[in-house]
Structure 1
């Protein structure tokens, strides 16, 4: 049959990736462990060259060599199972690509195992959800560069396009592609949480209606806050519930799920001493949201601040919220890109941070206007250690920090929980402080554990007999 590429795993993402490939001129073989999803995809085909197979061996044999097989399978043991079923029918130089949300260390392990068999392996981060999968996602391939070059003509065709440039670039070796996607998801967690906190202030403190808040998000999406998440937030707030006529947001249960990538991001940062407080706090916020029953009980027992709330100038404070949200986002992206930089240095990956920012501009969930500024920052300073000190963003946070401070203080005084906005401010203040309170921490460690300390006025390591 000489299909040009095969797709295994025909859930929503896999089916849409297959259709995307076919829509871009590829002859696509498809296979799913259960027949139902294959048949479901066939009902969506409108003349595209998609050929179904119900046997793994026949699926593999239908592919032109070197074979290119794209996996869209649930991360974990399922990936290993599918790879095991494929290996007996593969030949040296055949290529397996994992487009799921695999942990980057699992990807590196699979790369090594398959490399020993002569089979090439790419771990490919995909962002964009089901719409992006069909119309063009952001694509983050990791593995051997020469292997990537063999599949690049397909990947760059199916990727989102911004100003004629595909949102796909070679990321780095082994698990680098999935690592970049993992941290992307961590940034996404923080970005979403920051938006919800801005919404809380507008609604709970400024007493704006849901429609008024939607209008503000629409307005913000025309300026420097322009992004996919701001755009969809406005749309969400405009949606009415068919059953009650209420804003749909008011009938959605306030419990948030998560699939693990945010947790992986925080754990990797903790393991390697990378400050990732905003992203990690966004993860903890989801955990607190899951304690719905406990929170309902606690509301009856625990009281918030008792105070007369002064009247606020709504227009002025809406602008403070906008500034606070922008600065919080900058701090969150700064942490994520610092994680890229520090991990790249740790593993000698040489991650292309300038290009990573560019491929996030289209297709992916965190696409935003200021990614152009992030890319420009790394283009100007390839070894930039933190986005906050890049001239463009340094000027922005200098201008907007007052807005963030006002919102955090007013929110706290009003009893509104601001885990990520307040953490953003703490991170900013910690990072800009040359002489911190850590000297006392180190003295405490030396006092009870003889952990020693360094001095600011002489070389060496010291211990004091504090008693």
Structure 2
């Protein structure tokens, strides 16, 4: 009897090849195919001894080498390439076979593909995969969305491929349609905010206090031993400590222009559609966009000269203040992201389990952090406040950090150092805890120029004032 593979991987660039190697190392038979056969040969030549690989040079042979119902992970660039690969696979598939998109696809595209393939009696899983090339090989965080039946077929495979924390896999069934890719999108949005906050802390140390990269690296390494412990803090210390062949810090020679692939922007756009105040993540996206305008910034610096910033002395109190501002702002970013997940789950009927999302983000993924255990507990068994900041642990943390948070933002403003993520997080916090804000005037203005009506505190119903006519107020609805 011919031996068949347990799973297939189509697309053998770094992420695809590492996922294939991951599955093979865990004891699964892995069919592998790449449109350019050289990559298939390279994988087998370099890593063929790591497990049972089933290489093919033709799509038909690749599909035929997998046990039915066939699960096939496609690892290609998001967008049109995914649709092209799906169409390439369809003629060779049988009813019930499963296509798994492991890339960073937009969740609405995943929704469309899910229903398209359902009509063809095929199953589709949109699976977010976080952890980069190292995570793909050693164990990523995996977020599969599709039907439960399709997930049941791949569950024994993906839960072993995923990172493990406290004996639990960083992989769980997310929900139907494009929910897996939506969750990965929000994960990436939180990642954007987290990285921007770290960058702003670095800028303050460098520009206001005159610290060199090596010294700042040691501060981040120390922070990583405490409540800020996370993958991003860990690698920040490593990046800042790296010295290039000139003997100088590598970071000082890197062009100050941050690129982006779109997931952060999608997260912000989705928040606008859902009506979620996703200020931290959105400001992080805008900061990257501004960083990309290097020539405009260089010209503006000549025409809008920045006042010289006198280096200030720094002690433990100043270091702790920036740490507290970073921690409080980080809490805001996660709180906003989880609110977006909550509203999306309700609007799209996905029934997302927020405690399970916090669980699978504890390992393998880019935003893994110690305090995800706190988030997990907050949402355990469907509980949790409407906003994460209102949970006891996080409420106490931001209240404790608040004086330092304000001090750091005020210092940055005074010195002309942009801290959009710190500042917007603080503004969100201040706006959240005001039972009555200034939007009453805003609504009055809307009624004046557009007759958009307003509600009153002392009466029920909707009202309109004939501002430019006789000034009379009229009730327009109950």
Partner of 1:157: 160
Partner of 2:296: 294
Question: Contact conserved, 2:353 with 2:382, CA < 8 A, in 1?
Answer: no
Question: Contact conserved, 2:193 with 2:333, CA < 8 A, in 1?
Answer: yes
CA distance in 1, matches of 2:45, 2:431: 56
Partner of 2:176: 173
1:222 aligns with 2:222: no
Partner of 2:80: 77
1:380 CA displacement: 6.9
1:299 CA displacement: 1.1
Partner of 1:420: 421
TM-score by length of 1: 0.98
CA distance in 1, matches of 2:255, 2:360: 34
CA distance in 1, matches of 2:42, 2:283: 40
Partner of 2:235: 232
CA distance in 2, matches of 1:148, 1:278: 33
Q: How does 1:237-276 map to 2 (within 5 A)?
A: 237-242=240-245, 244-276=246-278
CA distance in 2, matches of 1:383, 1:317: 34
CA distance in 1, matches of 2:88, 2:381: 47
Partner of 2:204: 201
Q: How does 1:52-451 map to 2 (within 5 A)?
A: 52-242=55-245, 244-305=246-307, 311-379=312-380, 382=383, 384-451=385-452
Residue deviations 1:251-280 (CA, integer Å, cap 9, x gap):
000011100111111111111211111101
Residue deviations 1:358-380 (CA, integer Å, cap 9, x gap):
10000000000000011111117
Question: Contact conserved, 1:206 with 1:314, CA < 8 A, in 2?
Answer: no
CA distance in 1, matches of 2:224, 2:60: 50
4+ residue stretches of structure 1 with deviation over 6 A? none
Structure 2: which 5+ residue stretches go unaligned? 469-478
1:381 CA displacement: 5.9
Question: Contact conserved, 1:305 with 1:413, CA < 8 A, in 2?
Answer: no
CA distance in 2, matches of 1:366, 1:445: 40
TM-score by length of 2: 0.95
Gap change, CA 1:380 and 1:57, over 3 Å in 2: closer
CA distance in 2, matches of 1:272, 1:80: 27
Q: Give 2:14's match in structure 1, choosing from 9, 12, 15.
A: 12
1:172 counterpart SS class: coil
Q: How does 1:11-30 map to 2 (within 5 A)?
A: 11-30=13-32
CA distance in 1, matches of 2:92, 2:204: 58
Q: CA RMSD in A?
A: 1.2
Structure 1: which 5+ residue stretches go unaligned? none
1:384 CA displacement: 2.6
1:36 CA displacement: 2.2
CA distance in 2, matches of 1:150, 1:253: 46
Question: Contact conserved, 1:254 with 1:289, CA < 8 A, in 2?
Answer: yes
1:29 CA displacement: 0.6
Question: Contact conserved, 2:5 with 2:67, CA < 8 A, in 1?
Answer: yes
Question: Contact conserved, 2:278 with 2:336, CA < 8 A, in 1?
Answer: yes
CA distance in 1, matches of 2:384, 2:178: 22
Question: Contact conserved, 2:208 with 2:312, CA < 8 A, in 1?
Answer: no
Q: Give 2:43's match in structure 1, choosing from 38, 41, 44.
A: 41
CA distance in 1, matches of 2:87, 2:59: 11
Question: Contact conserved, 1:185 with 1:262, CA < 8 A, in 2?
Answer: yes
CA distance in 2, matches of 1:248, 1:310: 23
CA distance in 2, matches of 1:12, 1:154: 20
